[in-house]
Amino acid sequence: MLLFVTALKLLAEIALMALLGRWILGLLAGAKREHNVFYKLFDVITSPFFKLTRRLVPRRVDDRYLPVAAFFLLSVLWIFFTAVKIKLCLQSGINTCR
């Protein structure tokens, strides 16, 4: 169970870092960001989370707010999985979590 929770936490961390990288690269590249290879890579990594967020948020939420909603959703998931991992580590003993 600990391995499963750790894997989900890692997945949330990777997605959060990809969202952050996509945002920073979008600021630096400006209007030509759609032609940037790394921006496209970040877009491929984050697109499943955008699709999940689109299913979870109401339809009246505009698509331009989808990255912000995905960031908050992933942040909440990361905090949840961190709390579950801490609980599992305390139950099984700290030495098993190292």
**Closest-CA residue to 9 (of 68, 90, 77):** 77
Which residue from 97, 76, 81, 70 is spatially nearest to 8, judged by alpha carbons?
A: 81
Would you state the pLDDT for residue 94? 78
CA distance 76 to 55: 17
Could you tell me if 21 and 39 are in contact, meaning their C-beta atoms sit under 8 angstroms apart?
A: no
Q: Is the pLDDT of residue 95 over 90?
A: no
Closest CA to 49 of 24, 79, 78, 25: 78
Does the pLDDT of residue 63 top 90, yes or no?
Answer: no
Share of the chain above pLDDT 70, in %: 100
